[in-house]
């Protein structure tokens, strides 16, 4: 008996799904990111309107003042869909675990100068409450925003902030006894240094325009907080004064801020390019929230930088304005 083996090429009838093809311009191969993002926003069969908000459908473009001709103009430059996001964060988690293990096994935390240890606890540990607030706000964006291109990565942003809150907590347990967590909570609730920032975080909880919340939280507040605390104070001043161990175990926060900055800027740029009125609207929101965020962060800057704090805050605000201008925002 003789058998002949042949290679048969089967041409697919379609390269991708119809709803994806309509957005990318014809039937051509689509990436996993495109197939997991484009055309997934619910647009019909919405049943009844929510009883707590009868003025809107569950998924409603009018929940923001922003106007978009194409809600899928929002794209993630990182190309994150669930699989790629989880793999990226798993690698970063391994690197963070290695940093904590290195510091713990070599006793680097015990060798920290007392003033550096106290500053790290006083400055970083209460920020876990800020990270939790940022997570809640991005959950709101994911729930009430419109367009999978922005709501999907907003949910990833929310999960990242929970992870940052956990890393901040772990830093506190590395440097001190568990009672330090209670002290940080008391500082967050009652210490005058934190009350402006706490009020800002809580005011954002009740902001109903989800894109204004995106601007206020992800662009303005986080765009000032992470460069101030983790780049300027921790990686700069603390590391030079003997706090390299603190910089090692907070490296994820720095890497995450640099990565997500690209996503945030891309959303602002897409909004400004899609509708001429968006550039001025976003500029108004930035002008509204930047002074509040800068004032709320000034006590933290003074804690870590002393007399340099005012100059550093001015530089960070100028850098934020330059980011917005590059994205097309009009003042």
Please compute, for residue 28, the number of CA atoms within 13 A of its CA located in the half-sphere on the CB side: 4
Domain boundaries along the sequence of the chain: 79-327
Closest CA to 198 of 142, 258, 130, 151: 130
Q: Which regions of the chain are under pLDDT 50?
A: none
Query: What confidence score (pLDDT) does residue 16 get?
Result: 85
Query: What confidence score (pLDDT) does residue 20 get?
Result: 82
pLDDT digits (tens, 9 = 90+) for 122-152: 999 999 999 999 999 999 999 999 999 999 9
pTM, 2 dp:
0.93
**Sequence-separated (6 or more) residues with CB below 8 Å from residue 246:** 112, 116, 120, 124, 171, 175, 234, 238, 239
pLDDT digits (tens, 9 = 90+) for 308-318: 999 999 999 99
Please compute, for residue 181, the number of CA atoms within 13 A of its CA located in the half-sphere on the CB side: 14
> In the numeric block, which tokens belong to residue 326?
């590059």
Query: What confidence score (pLDDT) does residue 104 get?
Result: 93
Query: What confidence score (pLDDT) does residue 194 get?
Result: 98
Query: What confidence score (pLDDT) does residue 45 get?
Result: 82
Pick the CATH number of 79-327 from 3.40.190.10, 3.40.50.970, 1.10.10.10, 1.10.620.20: 1.10.620.20
Query: What confidence score (pLDDT) does residue 1 get?
Result: 67
Burial class (CB in 10 A: 0-12, 13-18, 19+), 161: buried
CA distances from 320 to 61, 83, 150, 158 (A): 28, 31, 21, 22
Query: What confidence score (pLDDT) does residue 262 get?
Result: 97
């Amino acid at each position: 008996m003789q058998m002949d083996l042949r290679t048969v090429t089967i041409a697919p009838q379609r390269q991708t799904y119809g709803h994806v093809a309509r957005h990318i311009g014809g039937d051509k191969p689509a990436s996993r990111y495109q197939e997991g993002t484009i055309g997934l926003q619910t647009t019909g069969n919405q049943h009844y309107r929510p009883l707590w908000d009868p003025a809107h459908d569950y998924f409603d473009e009018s929940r923001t003042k922003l106007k978009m001709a194409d809600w899928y103009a929002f794209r993630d430059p990182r190309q994150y869909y669930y699989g790629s996001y989880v793999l990226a964060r798993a690698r970063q988690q391994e690197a963070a675990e290695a940093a904590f293990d290195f510091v713990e096994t070599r006793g680097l935390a015990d060798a920290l100068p007392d003033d550096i240890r106290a500053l790290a606890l006083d400055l970083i540990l209460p920020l876990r409450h800020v990270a939790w607030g940022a997570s809640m706000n991005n959950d709101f964006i994911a729930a009430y925003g419109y367009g999978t291109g922005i709501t999907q990565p907003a949910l990833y942003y929310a999960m990242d902030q929970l992870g940052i809150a956990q890393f901040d907590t772990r830093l506190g347990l590395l440097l001190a006894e568990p009672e330090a967590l209670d002290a940080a909570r008391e500082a967050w609730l009652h210490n005058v240094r934190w009350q402006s920032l706490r009020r800002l975080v809580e005011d954002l909880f009740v902001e109903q325009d989800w894109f204004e919340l995106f601007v206020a939280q992800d662009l303005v507040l986080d765009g000032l907080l992470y460069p101030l605390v983790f780049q300027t104070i921790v990686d700069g001043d603390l590391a030079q004064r003997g706090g390299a161990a603190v910089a090692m175990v907070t490296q994820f926060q720095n890497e995450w801020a640099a990565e997500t900055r690209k996503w945030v800027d891309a959303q602002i740029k897409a909004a400004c390019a899609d509708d001429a009125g968006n550039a001025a609207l976003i500029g108004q929101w930035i002008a509204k929230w930047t002074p509040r965020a800068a004032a709320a962060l000034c006590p933290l800057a003074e804690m870590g930088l002393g007399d340099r704090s005012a100059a550093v805050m001015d530089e960070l605000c100028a850098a934020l304005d330059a980011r917005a201008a590059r994205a097309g925002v009009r003042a």
